[in-house]
Structure 1
Amino acid sequence: MKVLIIGAAGMIGRKLTDAILRDQVIGDRRVEALHLADVIAPVPPASDSVKITTSTTDLTDPAAARALTVWRPEVIFHLAAVVSGQAETDLDLGLTVNLDGTRNILDAIRQTGEGYCPRFVFTSSLAVFGTPLPDVIPDDFAPNPRTSYGAQKLIGEILVSDFSRRGLLDGISLRLPTICIRPGAPNAAASGFFSGILREPLAGLPAALPVDPETRHWFAGPRGAVGLLLHAASVDTAPLGHRRALNLPGISATVADQIAALERVAGPRAVALIRPEPDPLVRDIVSAWPRAFAPDRALSMGFTAETSFDEIIAAHIEDELGGSLPLHDVP
């Protein structure tokens, strides 16, 4: 099987790549070739058994999108996007990358023709929902985005469903929980502080908290997110019908819950590194996002993620900090 990852240089793209190369199968099919594409040149890991190729690709160029489908990958992961904060402050950039880029890769698949119908896994977002929201969102709750990013992702979902209805691809849109803890440097996502208030103190660094501690949200860790993506690449999509977008399992937690988990693991000195720095823009964006889901459709199809922030923090320490905390953070 041939697999394409668009947005492969990003955090989730890199972790997805590593998982595919570790297992060398998706579902019950062996991965023989993997192409990594991004606007930043992906760094290919070494592999003796999977053929790896890379390209520096800008999906806003239709010709570049077509170049990704000529080798007819059976599975395509579309992870590339401008994140929420950028898409809200720069409408043109969000439209160009999140909307035009998605349209271009979908058109490239359609134009490949000759019975080509790949599994297309599209990373959508909880931002397709907006206020007023129930405390727990059921599967039949209507999307109503309150940000440009959410609107762009919802349009992508609709296109994936329509192309699937037409038999042009076998698509599934994943409304991923906010991914926490993201390793590496902070990004421009409005949700970035959810990771920062854990990642920085675990490394002995200060972190800014722009919202009230009682702010509640829906989360999964990087390991959980990769598992959700891989399951989507092989799951039977027949139960989805023409409703190809899925709310996914996750953890409903407040910022205070996150901080309590941090204290259990790293002690009060780590918590003391978090300083309140109110940010009205971030507060307004995040306040319009969901707090909890009842993702019955996804659960019935076998999707799973983490079940506690203690689990997420433990995975971060193992994967990103060599399995232990800096001595000054040990409680």
Structure 2
Amino acid sequence: MHIAITGAAGFLGQRLVNQLLARGQLDGEAITRLTLIDQVEAPKPDVKGVEVECLALDITSPGALDPVLDERPAVIYHLAAVVSSAAEADLDLGMAVNFDATRELLEGCRQRELSGTRLVMASSVAAYGGDMPVVLDDMTALHPQNSYGTQKAMCELLINDYSRRGLVDGRVLRLPTIVIRPGRPNAAASSFASSILREPLAGEQAICPVPVEQELFVMSPAKVIDALVHAAEVLGESIGAFRALMLPGITVSVSEMLEALREAAGDEAVARVRHEADPRIQAIVSGWPARFDTEKSRELGFTGDRDFKEIIDAYISESR
């Protein structure tokens, strides 16, 4: 089986690569080839029995993915994206990477009649927003409140239509806010959700830009990767005509996150978090709903974290 991954050098991309190589197969078929695509060349894993090609490509350039699509991969993971705050700050860049490149990818599949190729795209809770019911589900109307969410919502509609037409076998995962991400803060509006835990655990200061009452819908990195792998194994007809799914995250407030930090690392760790309001971040994050009915994704075999303590304990264990 040949699998292609855009955004392969990123946090999720690298974890997905490692998971796929550890499994050695997908949907009962041996993985024989991986094509790893990013704007910078992804690290090449040293593994026997799998041909790995790492390509540094600008996917916004017309035809950039043509050589990959000519090889007719069985599965394409489309993870490449400009994250929320960056997409809000630069509309042209967000449109080029998040929407135009996705349309180019779909058109490439269409031109090559890759109807059997399973396309798994990472969308976001940011596709929702606005005046919403207290609890949302997969079919709640999308009213994104920022450019990133709008671009993801447009991609969802395109993938639904191309799948309806039998041009590709698409499936879209709406990712909750991922915590705790390793590394350093990035341009995502949700970056603080990891930094207010990660930095204090490392003995460093962190800034919380939103009120402690702010609720988030979150999921651990490990569960997100499990979901990405599982998404390529679920039958398209099982998902149905509407190909977008909200993954089974958990709802947690910032105050509850800090209390979990206190339980894990004491008052000293919580004291390292400074509360400094950032109206720009607040405006974006407050538009993200935090409560979902994820019955459909659970019925399809997707699983979530039991509670937030499990998330923070897993990060601490992994960091040792």
State the TM-score bracket (shorter-chain normalisation): over 0.9
Distance (Å, rounded) in 2 between the aligned partners of 1:279 and 1:313: 25
SS in 2 for 1:293: coil
SS in 2 for 1:22: helix
Distance (Å, rounded) in 2 between the aligned partners of 1:136 and 1:256: 21
Unaligned runs of 5+ residues in structure 1 are: 323-331
Count of residue correspondences: 320
Is 1:262 matched with 2:257? Answer: no
Partner of 1:61: 61
Distance (Å, rounded) in 1 between the aligned partners of 2:237 and 2:24: 25
Distance (Å, rounded) in 2 between the aligned partners of 1:283 and 1:138: 23
Letter in 1 for 2:73: P
SS in 1 for 2:8: coil
Runs of 4+ in structure 1 over 4 Å off: none
Partner of 1:169: 168
Partner of 1:52: 52
Partner of 1:82: 82
- 1:1-331 residue pairs with structure 2 within 5 A? 1-113=1-113, 116-319=115-318, 321-322=319-320
TM-score, normalised to structure 1, is 0.94
Confirm or deny: 8 A CA contact 2:33 2:52 kept in the other structure: yes
Unaligned runs of 5+ residues in structure 2 are: none
Distance (Å, rounded) in 1 between the aligned partners of 2:140 and 2:97: 27
Distance (Å, rounded) in 1 between the aligned partners of 2:314 and 2:47: 24
Distance (Å, rounded) in 1 between the aligned partners of 2:15 and 2:140: 31
Letter in 2 for 1:188: A
Give the Å deviation of 1:30: 1.5
SS in 2 for 1:60: coil
Give the Å deviation of 1:234: 0.5
Give the Å deviation of 1:27: 2.7
User: What is the RMSD computed on CA atoms of the aligned residues?
Assistant: 1.1
Confirm or deny: 8 A CA contact 2:239 2:300 kept in the other structure: no
Give the Å deviation of 1:116: 4.7
SS in 2 for 1:77: strand
Give the Å deviation of 1:106: 1.0
Per-residue CA deviations over 1:182-207 (Å, capped at 9, x if unaligned) read: 11111100110001101111111100
Distance (Å, rounded) in 1 between the aligned partners of 2:268 and 2:26: 42
Confirm or deny: 8 A CA contact 1:128 1:145 kept in the other structure: yes
Distance (Å, rounded) in 1 between the aligned partners of 2:167 and 2:49: 31
Per-residue CA deviations over 1:216-237 (Å, capped at 9, x if unaligned) read: 0100011010011011010122
SS in 2 for 1:175: strand
Give the Å deviation of 1:138: 2.4
Distance (Å, rounded) in 2 between the aligned partners of 1:241 and 1:214: 37
SS in 2 for 1:137: coil
Distance (Å, rounded) in 2 between the aligned partners of 1:189 and 1:161: 26
Per-residue CA deviations over 1:274-296 (Å, capped at 9, x if unaligned) read: 00111001001111101111111
TM-score, normalised to structure 2, is 0.98
Partner of 1:325: none
